[in-house]
Structures are given as structure tokens and as C-alpha cells.
Structure 1
Amino acid sequence: MLEIQQLPVLNDNYIYLIHDLDSGETAAVDPAVSEPVLAALKLNNWQLSYVFNTHHHADHIGGNLVLKKQTACHIIGSEADRQRIPGIDQGVIEGDCLNLGKHTIQIIECSGHTQGHIAFYIPEFDALFCGDTLFAIGCGRLFEGSAEQMQQSLRKLTALPLATKIYCAHEYTAANARFAFSVEPDNADLQQAIGRIKHLRANNQPTVPTTLQQEIATNPFLRANSPEIQENLAMQGATELAVFTELRERKNRF
């Protein structure tokens, strides 16, 4: 079995610890800072085996070097981003597989937010660690990639089973939901989600992981074919890429 622990850090980041109970191996996903990881390892009496980096931004790799020095962990990131991942030991590409104990982790390339962004997918546990590509009711800003790249990456992720749990790296859901409501206010699934999000955040509880099924029902960036969204954008009959691009630009200004 795998145990997943979610560590809230900085203003709105999440670091994930994935622990295999049989082998004792543990991976830290996107360690923005080292101290909470080291504290959790000590509390659980776990040894850090790996760091998995989805991309090179400082709030995802900031703890790499300290963790490597303290634990001798093996750092894994995108081969295309090798020069920007501190302490990297192993570069991976689309289709590569890793092992945590006996569990297989598949690498999915998903550029858009950055070039060289990757996700870590554990099919046996329906778990996707997707960094800043897909958020609960949102997607990452296009800092380096194009709208077309991001849309293609999201299509890869939405091809996974609907039960897939989305372990994204930020607690952006409340703001994302406000934007989604502005472009698709009659979406009943979104209305229900907003109520749930308000309750969770009022009690200082995380809104992630979400599920792929929930995202397909509520996330405007996965719903460019929605007649209501197209009508509200005055883009009836436009291509899904054009609608997606307009959504991303509006979210940037929202």
C-alpha cells in the first residue's frame, strides 16, 4: 500500500510525501522548502528515497539541495529541464516508468506552464501528481509554453480514468471557482462544488486532491466545448483552442 501525506507550505503550496509501506521507500513531490519535509520524515520515522520535481520553478525545487544533503535522496526531473533542476540525478521523458517499491509510476510530459513540465502518474492508485498543469477548477499560467501546448497537455491528462485523483501543487481552488462561475454560472456541478469549497476553506481544509471526473464537470479549461461558455464569451462556433486561449487570457486578468 501507499500512504500519501499532504504538507501545506509557503502561502498556498502543497508538497506531497508518497510512502510505500512494504519497502519503506518515500518520495517527496515538489519540495518548495526542506524543513516541513524533514519534520514529517522524522515524525513518521521515514527515510527519503526520492525527490520528484514536476518543473523548475523555485516554489517546487527550493528544498532539493538541502534534502539531498540531509538524506542522500535521488532527485528525478524532466530530462528536457535537466539544467534547471538543482541536484538532479535522473532525467526522465514521456513514457518512462519509475518504481516506488513495487509500484509503477508513469511519466507524462505536459508542457505549457513551463517547457519540460512533467507529471507523475501512479495507475495502481489512480493518483496523478501534476504540479502546475492542471489545478482544481483551473490550469497553470502559460509562462513558457503556448495555449496549444497546454490544451494538448490537458487532453493527455483527461484521457486518464475518471477516478484519477488530481494532486496539484497549489490551493488556488476558491479563486479558480470564482472565475469559472463568471463564464459558466448555470453549471449545476460547479454550483455544488463552490458550496463544498466554501465549507472546506472556512474550516481551513484543503480542496485538493480533486478527481478527474469532478474537473471534467466543472473546470472551464476542460470545457471549451460548453455552449454556455462559448455564448458568454461571444464565441459560438469558435474552435476549442480559440475558446481555451480566450479563457486563459481572461483568467490572467480576472
Structure 2
Amino acid sequence: MTAQIHVFRCLSDNIGALVHDPSTGMCAAIDAPEEAPILAALAETGWELSEILVTHRHADHVQAIGPLKARLGCRVVAPAKARDQIPGADVFVREGDTVYVGGLQAHVWDTPGHCADHVSYWFAADRALFCGDTLFTLGCGRLLEGSYADLWHSLQRLAALPEEARVYSGHDYTLANARFALAADPENEALKRRAAEAEAADKDGRFLIPSTIGEEKATNPFLRAGEQALAKSVGMEGAPPLAVFQALREWKNRF
């Protein structure tokens, strides 16, 4: 049986996710933004939390680790690069490691750029990517540590996944991302449809998470920095994709 995945809101705009292995009953939370919504999601699904898989050290992704671990005794898996900054972590992982949630297998990928310790979890058999604050629906994380080359490399690595791979990001910034994407790529018909879908979803109390790699490659300006339309939008025709990406991200910072 394949993974069962349940997504829900935490805090003001974080996205919580539970990954459940029906064959063993093991269940992981991706990050721990807020205790109450995670407990509510567990109650709704009937699943029992056995693990927390941490993508990075920022407070809005780890602040509920202590309460959840004290209440439920779950194991906490965290990036080795944040060893001293994630209290309560039991296991530390890095590029190339494998994490198991029961019979489900996740590959650990270093995806720096938003911060130096950021990792993503790729459940290859289930075509499910949990990428924290690296890649968002129609957007990407803000560069806080490292270089634009680091973040661009991380995004390009994720973009090379199969087009049907589902992208579970750590925040719902979709409407704001759509407004910027339309400013940067105004003639993109697929983007126009995606933005309208996001508006409709928001009115219905839904959100467009997960997305897919295919959808992001067609509509996300930060994955399209190699396209002439995006280079033109920042006045950098003929520039290498990395330079266009940097200009787009800096524009988004001011948008």
C-alpha cells in the first residue's frame, strides 16, 4: 500500500503534513509548526504520531517539537547541520541518508539557500516531495543564507524530479506568489489558469498544496529563469539563467 498523506493549516500560513504508512501504522509529521492543529489532524485521521521529520531549524517549523515529543513520545529526525539548534532531536540526517516511516522510504536531499541546514524529503516510491521553504506553489523561499547559486541549484535539482511528483511545501503563499508570477510572466496562459484556480480555491477555503513538478515548471517563474520571457521581464535578455533567477528573486523581495 502507498503512503497516505494529509495536509492542513498551521499558524497563519504554514502547511502541516502527516505521512502515514497503512501497513505498519507508523506516521510522520513533516515539521512541527503548531501543536494543536497537528493533534487535531491526528484525531481526524485516527493516526498515531511516531516521527517528526524536520526540514530546517526556523522556529515556525520546530516550535511544537517539545510539546509533541513530551505528549506522544515521537522520534525527531533533523538536519545534521542544525544539530545544536533543534532541541529534542534524536536522529540527525544529511545528504544521501534514508529515513523510514514504517515501510515508507524517504531520501534526504540537502537543499540549501533559504537556510544552510535545509533538507528535503523525497518519497520516491510515492512520488511525494516535502521541500519545506525551498519551493512553493508558484514561488520559492527567500535567500537567507548562502548564495543565489546555492538556491538555484536546489531548485534545479527539485525541478529534475518526475513531472507527476507532488510538491508539499511548508507555507501557503500561493495568492501572493501568483500576483508576482503574473507580473513577471504576463503572457503565460498556463499561469493565468493556475492563478484563477488559486483564487477559486481560496474562496472555497482550500489551498493548492500539493502542486506538482510539472505544474511548477510550467508556471513558477523561479523555475523558468532559463526562458526568454522571464529574462526579458527583468531586462536581461541573453543573460545566464542564474543571473535571471537572482534578478527575479530580488524583484520578488521588493514586490
In structure 1, the partner of 2:231 is 230
Shift of 1:192: 1.1
Which deviates more, 94-103 or 104-113?
Answer: 94-103
**Inter-partner Cα distance in structure 1 for 2:62 and 2:112:** 17
Which deviates more, 109-118 or 193-202?
Answer: 193-202
In structure 1, the partner of 2:249 is 248
Shift of 1:156: 1.1
Q: What pairs with 1:1-254 in structure 2 (closer than 5 Å)?
A: 1-254=2-255
Secondary structure of 1:83's counterpart equals: coil
AA at the equivalent of 2:140: C
Shift of 1:70: 0.7
**Inter-partner Cα distance in structure 1 for 2:130 and 2:250:** 25
* CA 1:44–1:207: 2 relative to 1, 3 Å: closer
Runs of 4+ in 1 over 6 A off after TM superposition: none
**Inter-partner Cα distance in structure 2 for 1:109 and 1:72:** 27
Shift of 1:166: 0.3
What whole-Å deviation, never above 9, does each CA across 1:30-70 have from its counterpart, x for those lacking one? 11111221233234332211001100111100110111111
TM-score norm. by structure 1 comes to 0.97
Unaligned stretches of 5+ residues in structure 2: none
AA at the equivalent of 1:198: E
TM-score norm. by structure 2 comes to 0.97
AA at the equivalent of 1:15: G
**Inter-partner Cα distance in structure 2 for 1:86 and 1:50:** 15
**Inter-partner Cα distance in structure 2 for 1:248 and 1:86:** 32
**Count of matched residue positions in the alignment of Structure 1 and Structure 2:** 254
Secondary structure of 1:192's counterpart equals: helix
Unaligned stretches of 5+ residues in structure 1: none
* CA 1:60–1:95: 2 relative to 1, 3 Å: same
Secondary structure of 1:8's counterpart equals: strand
What whole-Å deviation, never above 9, does each CA across 1:209-235 have from its counterpart, x for those lacking one? 100000000111111111111112110
Identity %, equivalent residues: 40
Secondary structure of 1:84's counterpart equals: coil
